[in-house]
Each structure stands twice: as structure tokens, then as C-alpha cells.
Amino acid sequence: MAPLYSTLVAALAGASMATGYQANRPGTQNRYIFAKPYDQSFLDGYSVLKHVGGQGPYSNRQSYGIGRDPPGGCAVDQVIMLKRHGERWPDPGPAANFKTSLNKIYSTNTTSFTGALSFLNSWEYFVPGNRYIALESYNGPYAGLLDGYRHGAEYGVRYGHLWDPTAANITIPMFSSGYERILTTARKFGEGFFGWNYTDVVAMNIIPEQVYMGANSLTPTCLKDNDTAICSQLTASNLQPQFNVAAARLNSQTRNLNLNATDIYNLMQMTAYELNVRGYSDWVDVFSLDEWVAFGYTQDLSYYYCSGPGDKNMRAVGAVYANASLTLLNEGPEKAGAIYLNFCHDTNITPVLAALGLSSPAQDLPLDHIPFPNDYNTANIVPMGGHLTIERLTCNATVNTEAGVYVRHVLNEAVVPFTGCQTGPGFSCSLSNYTSLLSSSLPNFIQTCGFNSSYPQYLDFWWNYNTTHAYNFETQSPIPAEEGLLTYQGTAA
Ligand SMILES: *[C@@H]1O[C@H](CO)[C@@H](O)[C@H](O)[C@H]1NC(C)=O
Ligand SMILES: *[C@@H]1O[C@H](CO)[C@@H](O)[C@H](O)[C@H]1NC(C)=O
Ligand SMILES: *[C@@H]1O[C@H](CO)[C@@H](O)[C@H](O)[C@H]1NC(C)=O
Ligand SMILES: *[C@@H]1O[C@H](CO)[C@@H](O)[C@H](O)[C@H]1NC(C)=O
Ligand SMILES: *[C@@H]1O[C@H](CO)[C@@H](O)[C@H](O)[C@H]1NC(C)=O
Ligand SMILES: *[C@@H]1O[C@H](CO)[C@@H](O)[C@H](O)[C@H]1NC(C)=O
Ligand SMILES: *[C@@H]1O[C@H](CO)[C@@H](O)[C@H](O)[C@H]1NC(C)=O
Ligand SMILES: *[C@@H]1O[C@H](CO)[C@@H](O)[C@H](O)[C@H]1NC(C)=O
Ligand SMILES: *[C@@H]1O[C@H](CO)[C@@H](O)[C@H](O)[C@H]1NC(C)=O
Ligand SMILES: *[C@@H]1O[C@H](CO)[C@@H](O)[C@H](O)[C@H]1NC(C)=O
């Protein structure tokens, strides 16, 4: 044993470490035999990122195990993407709540924190001033601007074949709703996707978020949102038992501390933003995983009942984008163009998913307990940087399927088969079946949402875009001088 042992130690400690310990068998020379070629951990469900709802850093959707690349014999010939802005600093309302709850802690006048909050002896609040409020974060591993650029760079590899950089004098439009953080995300994405060609090839179109845009919008609203019964009753402290337990625990560790369930909610929400901004947060470990699950579920309830399938008008809101996409898919790349990159808010994507029947649970989410399984986990649906990608596939015949055109939905990089139609290659749906199923199921936005004939009646900007490059880059500091949001309403840039 001894000689073998010392040989092994020498091998591990010696020069071979520089190149890795390599097997001495034919065909394995370049393999690191101690590295697992297939990861066995699959821990992504057991991560705080799956329980920060839509407030925290992006993570891919937990997949059904369907390959992300086009199925064998298929190629993507058109892509239509709808992406939320990237990770960001908090909005003014939540930021004020964070300060209120932090002040409760600091006003105990504790000079030396102990227990779970002992990190507060050196911690500093991460929002240095109002000028960052609501903007994309830019440093750290989860920086929103990095999300936009990296996602663009990855999609440039995946979908770069859909445009020809050697062609002369081409314009590819991109579409951002008129909100600063969304526009900055779109620009970074475009730079990642098109590289040096971004400046000359892309025409950034800014679609105002205003109600007067009617259906010609990436952010349509509903004038008759009469389904507010549950939505308006949801409060920050839904699921108070879990938050009360956390409050009692922290209060017991610090003299004079009197946090309640609302404060726990605020502090957990703040944690998600510290991750967006700093990339780490000591607050993560202040709360148990069960408490994080409870926090995540408050977010699921809010999206589900206020901007998702639990609000009966939201399918109609999402039908605008779903219907227009259907037109693009049927026109195909020759007539309509191959690349449609669109940017908006989380609550503009959840209605589209509802209209497409993606991620809609069979039953309404319960208000009094956390269901298992929970098919409406916000972190799988609209995390920061979340996105729905519709792929049009042209496929050769296979043993099971005919040659033809097929459609796939990819949500946060996981293929999500269309309900009722998934017999195509890679669980896709033939374009003709997709078209007939979807067009007969989409509600009428104009009627349902109460827009009269003076409003634009359908989404038109994909066919009537502007070719100016004027909005491709910032022409002023992206940071507002005062607290408040810079919104871009077409010409403000
Ligand atoms: C489909 O078949 C043709 C002819 O064999 C081949 O040239 C093409 O590469 C195939 N397409 C895909 C996506 O595999
Ligand atoms: C903390 O100190 C301030 C200022 O000295 C004082 O007004 C306040 O009552 C103190 N709070 C507690 C809980 O002792
Ligand atoms: C892309 O950039 C390269 C390098 O500058 C240039 O040669 C090419 O013409 C550009 N393509 C388009 C479509 O502008
Ligand atoms: C480029 O295209 C635009 C509009 O399609 C046209 O007006 C212009 O003359 C073209 N320029 C060149 C150099 O071909
Ligand atoms: C917690 O305390 C704040 C005041 O600091 C109050 O506004 C809020 O309603 C309280 N929340 C609960 C659930 O009692
Ligand atoms: C509420 O919305 C539904 C459509 O979802 C509509 O049929 C109904 O008339 C609306 N009620 C009111 C009072 O607006
Ligand atoms: C669907 O889209 C097409 C083309 O974009 C448009 O002509 C049609 O009016 C739309 N239908 C509805 C119900 O919005
Ligand atoms: C399309 O729908 C028809 C009728 O339901 C069905 O027979 C056919 O198999 C479907 N084709 C695909 C590719 O899903
Ligand atoms: C449409 O509605 C707007 C505001 O709701 C109103 O000002 C306008 O007069 C209406 N137009 C028509 C043609 O009914
Ligand atoms: C294009 O520019 C015109 C003139 O500024 C504007 O009225 C229109 O809304 C713009 N369209 C888009 C899609 O941005």
C-alpha cells in the first residue's frame, strides 16, 4: 500500500497538478478524470435565488429536461424575444420601506449587535443616494447592465446566423418600452448581440408606455381592470406566521427591537436588491429557507392575481403581443425579418404568458398556504432579466414528424411545451396547429379592456418602425440628478 499511496500523493502534489492529473489511457489524454463531466448536484431549486420572486438576480428556469438547442434536423429561422430589464436598484417606494425598517433596528441604539444581526456592526446600507434609485445595477456578479450585455452576447452566438454582417446597408430594429432602465438594458443587449455593428445596424425604437398607445404597445394596460378583489387585498405581510416567527427571533436577540411582519418582508425584499447591487448579502442567512419560501410565495401571489392568469383581464392584455407574434411567425423571416428583440417590465411579460397558457397553474393559487408543487414560482417566470423567447423552426422530416415549420416557447432558457400541442420535434408544435389553437383562444383586448376606436387597435410598430440610430446610445448621463425616474417618451432621449 505504501508505495502506491506515495505515488498517488506525488502525482497529486507534483508537477502533474499544473496540467491536471490525466489518465494514461488512449483517448483520455486531455480529460481531467476527477472532474465530473455531468454535474450531479442540481441544487438550483435549493437556492435563495428561487425564493426572491421577481426582485432578485436572474436564474434560468428549472427545465423539464428538454434540450435547449434546436432539435435534430431543425434550425431556427426566426426569433421573437420579450425581455425584462436586468437587475437593478430599488424603486423609491421599497427603498423608503427599507429605510423605515432599518431605522427601527438602528433606533434601538445598540452599539454592538450580537446573534444573527452581528454583521450589522460593520454593514452599511448599499444605496448611497437617491440618484441610483430605479436604475440598472452595474457592478458585481449580478449587475443588470452585465445581464443585458452577457445575454446579448450569448444570443449573438445562438441566433447570429439570422443576420448577415457582410450585407451592405441593413437595418435591424430593436424595441424598448419608454422607461430608462429598460432602454439601457436593450442597448447593452444590442451591443452584446451585434458587437461593433450595433451602431450602424440597429435602429432602437422607443415605444412609449402611455395609455394613449392602446394596443400599439409593449406595455398595454387595461382600462377595465375590474378583477381587483384579491389583488388589492394582498398585503406585504401575507403569510404572517412565518414572518412573525422571524420577527420574534430577531427581537429576542437585540434589546428594544420591535420588528413586525412588515419589517421582515421589507428586509427580505432589501436582501434581494443587495444581491442585485453588491452580489452578496449578509441578510440572506438572517432568514431561514422556509422564511425565504414564504417570501417568494408573497411574490407569486402578487404576480398571479394582479398581472397574471389569476386576473381575468390579463389574458386579453397579453393577447396583443401573442397575436402580433403569430402574425410575424406566419409571415416568416422572408417577409417579416428574422430578429425581433423587445424589452419591457415583468408585469408586461406575465400577461403574455397567461395568454399563451404558459405557466398557468390548473387551480388558483391558495391564499392560506403554500402549495406543493408550486407551478407559479416567480423566480422561474420573471426574475430580473427574465425573458420569453419564441423560436420558429424549419425542420427536416424525422421518424415521427413531417418536414415543416414548427414553433417553440423558451422561458428563461427552458423549453416549455405549448399546452395541447407538443408532438413536433423537441416537443414543438407545428406552426399551422399553433396558429389555429392560439388564434381561436385569444381574447379580444380592445373589447375586454375598454379601448374605444380612438386608440390604436393592434400592435403595429413591428411593421412600421423608425430607422434612425439616434436612440442607440445615451446622449446624457444615465443617472437622474434628482430622485425620480427618467422616462423616455419617444423623443426625450
Ligand atoms: C435538412 O436536410 C438538408 C438535406 O439533407 C440538409 O442540407 C440540412 O442541413 C438539414 N437541415 C438541418 C437543420 O439539419
Ligand atoms: C436612542 O437615542 C436617542 C437619542 O439619544 C433617544 O432619543 C432615544 O430615546 C434612544 N432610544 C432608545 C430605545 O433608547
Ligand atoms: C459590420 O462591421 C464590419 C466591420 O466594421 C463591417 O465591415 C460590416 O460592413 C458591418 N456590417 C454591416 C451590416 O454594417
Ligand atoms: C441605404 O438604404 C437607405 C434606405 O433603404 C437608402 O436610402 C440609402 O441610399 C442606402 N445607402 C446605400 C449606401 O446603399
Ligand atoms: C409594523 O409596524 C409598522 C410601523 O413601523 C406599521 O406601519 C405596520 O402596519 C406594522 N405591520 C404589522 C403587520 O403590524
Ligand atoms: C369585467 O370584466 C369582464 C371581462 O373580463 C367583462 O365581461 C365585464 O363586463 C367587466 N365588468 C365591468 C363592470 O366592467
Ligand atoms: C392581430 O394582429 C394582426 C396583425 O398584427 C392585426 O391585423 C389584427 O387586427 C390583430 N387581431 C387582434 C384581435 O388584435
Ligand atoms: C395538428 O393537429 C391535427 C388535428 O388535431 C393533428 O392530427 C396533427 O397530428 C397535428 N400535427 C402536429 C404536428 O401536431
Ligand atoms: C374614447 O375614449 C376617450 C377617453 O376615454 C374619450 O376622450 C374619447 O372621446 C372617446 N372616443 C370615441 C370615438 O368614443
Ligand atoms: C417614428 O418616429 C415618428 C416621428 O418621430 C413617431 O411619430 C413614431 O411614433 C415613431 N415610431 C416608432 C415605432 O418609434
Query: Measured from the CA of 432, which atom of ligand 8 is nearest?
Result: 1
Percent of the chain with pLDDT over 90: 76
Summarize pLDDT for 358-367 with one digit per residue, the tens. 989 999 999 9
What sign does the CA torsion over 403, 67, 165, 181 have? positive
Ligand nearest to the Cα of 435, by number: 8
Q: Residue 205: how many CB atoms within 10 A of its CB?
A: 21
Which one of the ligands is nearest to 460 CA? 7
335 or 133: which carries more pLDDT confidence? 335
Please check the confidence at residue 88 and state whether its pLDDT lies above 70: yes
- Collapse the DSSP code of 92 into the 3-class scheme (helix H, G, I; strand E, B; otherwise coil) and give the result: helix
Q: Return the residue whose CA atom lies nearest to atom 13 of ligand 9.
A: 454
Distance between CA atoms of residues 303 and 294, nearest Å: 15
Phi-psi group of 426: left, alpha or beta (phi > 0 → left; psi -120 to 50 → alpha; rest → beta): left
Q: Return d(Cα 373, Cα 376) in angstroms, integer.
A: 9
Q: Which atom of ligand 3 is nearest to the CA of 170?
A: 13
Residue count (the chain): 493
What are the DSSP calls for 228-283, one per residue? -TTGGG--TTTTHHHHHHHHHHHHHHSTT----HHHHHHHHHHHHHHHHHHS--GG
Q: Is there an atom of ligand 3 within 6 Å of 199 CB?
A: no
Ligand 7 pocket check: which of 320, 327, 449 to mutate, most ligand atoms within 8 Å of Cβ?
Answer: 327
482: Cβ contacts below 8 Å, ≥ 6 apart: 130, 131
- Taking the CA of residue 163 as reference, the ligand 3 atom at the shortest distance is 13
The alpha carbon of 168 and the centre of ligand 4 are apart by a number of angstroms equal to 9
Distance 446 CA to ligand 9 centre (A): 13
Chain position carrying cell 408532438: 423
pLDDT at 483 over 60: no
Asked if residue 466 lies in contact with residue 205, where contact means CB atoms within 8 angstroms, the answer is yes
- Using CB distances shorter than 6 Å, the residues near ligand 1 are 73-75, 396
**Any idea which residues carry the catalytic annotation?**
85, 346
| Interval between CA 261 and ligand 2 midpoint (Å) | 23
Closest C-alpha to ligand 9, atom 1: 452
Pocket test for ligand 10, best of 175, 212, 218, 466 (most atoms within 8 A of CB): 466
Instruction: State residue 6's pLDDT score.
Output: 41
For CA atoms 160, 163, 165, 171, give the dihedral sign.
negative
Q: What pLDDT is attached to residue 314?
A: 96
Question: What distances in angstroms separate CA 216 from CA 25, 183, 443, one per listed residue?
Answer: 63, 18, 16
- Closest ligand 1 atom to residue 73 Cα is 14
> Nearest to residue 259, comparing CAs of 273, 245, 272?
245
**Residue 147 DSSP SS3:** helix
Q: Ligand 9 centre and the CA of 325: distance in Å?
A: 28
The 10s digit of each residue's pLDDT in 236-256 is 556 678 999 999 999 999 999
In short, whether 489's Cβ falls inside 6 Å of ligand 7 is no
Q: What is the pTM of this model?
A: 0.91
- Predicted local confidence at residue 233, as pLDDT: 85
Contacts of 396-402 spanning 24+ positions with Cβ under 8 A: 396/73, 396/74, 397/73, 398/72, 398/73, 398/425, 400/425, 401/425, 402/430
Most confident range (mean pLDDT) of 34-43, 239-248, 299-308 is: 299-308
Q: What is the pLDDT of residue 493?
A: 30
Give the pLDDT band of residue 46 (cuts 50, 70, 90). Answer: confident
> Which of 485, 490, 493, 489 has its CA nearest to residue 133?
485
Give the rounded percent of residues in the chain with a pLDDT score beyond 70.
Answer: 89
Q: How far is the CA of 449 from the centre of ligand 6 (A)?
A: 8
Please give the distance, rounded to the nearest whole angstrom, from the Cα atom of residue 447 to the centre of ligand 6: 10
Q: How much is the pLDDT for 239?
A: 66
For ligand 3, the distance from its centroid to the CA atom of residue 203, given in whole angstroms, is 15
Indicate whether 25 pLDDT > 90: no
Per DSSP bridges, beta strands 404-411 and 429-430 are: antiparallel
Domains of the chain in start order, with CATH, are 44-448 (3.40.50.1240)
Pocket test for ligand 2, best of 107, 110, 255 (most atoms within 8 A of CB): 107
Of the pLDDT bands very low, low, confident and very high (cuts 50, 70, 90), residue 372 is confident
Is residue 62 within 8 Å of residue 43, measured between CB atoms? no
Query: What pLDDT is stored for residue 486 in this prediction?
Result: 58
| Atom of ligand 7 lying closest to residue 215 CA | 14
Q: Which atom of ligand 1 is closest in space to residue 396's alpha carbon? A: 1
Cα→Cα distances 335→162, 163, 166, 472, 488, Å: 14, 14, 20, 25, 30
Verify whether ligand 7 is closer than 6 Å to residue 463 (CB atom): no
The amino acid at 5: Y
